[in-house]
Amino acid sequence: MQNFIDKLQSSLKEGSFVKLTLSKPVGTRLIAYVGTRLIASVQGQSIEELRNVYVKPIILKNEKMYSFTYRYERRDETKNYDAEQTLEVITELLSGIFLNASLFTLTEDVTLLVSKKGKATVMCKAVKEQREQNVQHDKVKNRLINTDNPWWFKLGLTTREGKVTADMQHKFKQICKYVEIVDGVMKNVKFDGKIRIADMGAGKGYLTFALYEYLTQKCKYDIMMEGVEIRPDLVVKINEIIKESNLKDFRFVESSIESFGCGCQQTMPKVQSSEFKVQSQLDVLIALHACNTATDDAIIKGIKSGAKLIICAPCCHKQIRQEMEKSKVVDPITRYGIFLERQAVMITDAIRALIMEYYGYKTQVMEFIEMEHTPKNILLVGRKSDAPVDKESILKQIEELKKQYGIERHYLERIFD
């Protein structure tokens, strides 16, 4: 351990320090700061796991400093220290929080491995290639959305300066991932003219705004965007933000998913261009985490409106689970409660995919975000296709699934009525 600390001290003193990574935390820790000192494992408080620490040199106000990025489970925190403080903080972090450390200098790579019993091993490897230091402070990130846009502050995602707030870091990453996936599937669909998009159950509008911004500002698509939300207070608030931001061909409407587009939704103030009208036909329908059968209502709406692309992230698969429990059909998998739950999820979404294929959609089921962040990580994507469909075979598959698990009827089958 002292050997590693000595090499770290030498690299800081000689100016050969390039970067350092701390990993493999001993356990879940709450890290508190008193000046540059850290206090770990504070009992009786809400704890959050510190996963990694990344250190790199920067130039700050014409002085060389060292930037520490503390990576927690759902957020990052940055602190800057001088060389003396850096040595002190890293020494403390290695004294009982992290078991692994990787130091990169201009001349060698130094790895510290500490066993759970406290035995430390240091491995050194000379650097053969020429290595440079990167002391750039503010790295420009190629983000899919621009957090400097005023609507993100009004939506509560950022500060006035355009910085994502600490408690919204996870939400911001999730939004960017959604946008990346939607953009990827849209590129494989041919659209003619203005693209009409509806985001069902849009909620607070984070994804709706992100998609509108990305598709209009980055991709230069000509779109008309509607966020469909049943809560009137949210609809009024979001429409005010849209109006204040002067965003064209964009609005929120107060409506349930089932009623949307049938003339039942509340008429909203005309805050967009006169060209924007409620369309009975859609090009893209999005429904993320629409609970239980609301996902089915969204799929029905997409199919009946002739949408070229349907994107759903299903949630709360209660209907099929209740059917399976009621039928009391048990096999070696569903006899266990937790497996019954998971099987119900798979059967629900499998039948949804089959019904979409029945109506001419090429379907795909994918994971859209790491399982560690949320168990609701399935994305169901349907692209309208002109390929011939064997409807009889699809209906047979659906009936076999239902019979095997004692399911009387899948809610989405109401589209056949």
Whether 155 shows a pLDDT value over 50: the answer reads yes
Mean pLDDT of 43-57: 71
Whether 117 shows a pLDDT value over 70: the answer reads yes
Identify the pLDDT of residue 47: 45
Q: Which of 2-11, 46-55, 91-100, 310-319 has the highest mean pLDDT?
A: 2-11
Whether 298 shows a pLDDT value over 80: the answer reads yes
Ordered by where they begin, the domains of the chain are 2-126 (no CATH), 150-416 (3.40.50.150)
Q: How confident is the model at residue 13 (pLDDT cuts 50, 70, 90)?
A: very high
The reported pTM is: 0.64
> Each residue of 318-349: pLDDT tens digit?
888 888 888 887 777 777 778 888 888 899 99
Neighbours of 300 (CB within 10 A): 19
Report d(CA 148, CA 145) in Å as an integer.
9
Mean pLDDT of the chain: 84
Count of H-run helices and E-run strands, the chain: 10, 16
> Each residue of 203-253: pLDDT tens digit?
999 999 999 999 999 889 999 999 999 999 999 999 999 999 999 999 999
> Each residue of 22-43: pLDDT tens digit?
998 886 444 544 444 554 443 3
Mean pLDDT of 292-301: 91
> Each residue of 61-74: pLDDT tens digit?
888 999 999 988 77
State percent of the chain over pLDDT 90: 52
Query: Residues 358, 338: contact at Cβ < 8 Å?
Result: no
Mean pLDDT of 353-358: 96
Q: How confident is the model at residue 142 (pLDDT cuts 50, 70, 90)?
A: low
Q: How confident is the model at residue 44 (pLDDT cuts 50, 70, 90)?
A: very low
> Each residue of 360-399: pLDDT tens digit?
999 998 876 543 444 457 889 999 999 999 999 999 999 9
Report d(CA 306, CA 415) in Å as an integer.
14
Identify the pLDDT of residue 272: 40
> Each residue of 387-396: pLDDT tens digit?
999 999 999 9
Whether 352 shows a pLDDT value over 70: the answer reads yes
Out of 4-18, 30-44, 117-131, 256-270, least confident range: 30-44
Helices (H), 131-223: 150-154, 169-186, 206-213
- Residue 112 pairs in a beta bridge with 101, 122
Pair of tokens at residue 381: 């994507």
Mean pLDDT of 250-260: 92
Q: How distant is the alpha carbon of residue 349 from its chain centre? A: 20
Whether 139 shows a pLDDT value over 60: the answer reads no
Mean pLDDT of 288-300: 88
Identify the pLDDT of residue 75: 80
Mean pLDDT of 280-303: 88
Give the H or E element holding residue 378. Answer: strand 378-384
Query: Residues 69, 78: contact at Cβ < 8 Å?
Result: yes
Identify the pLDDT of residue 374: 44
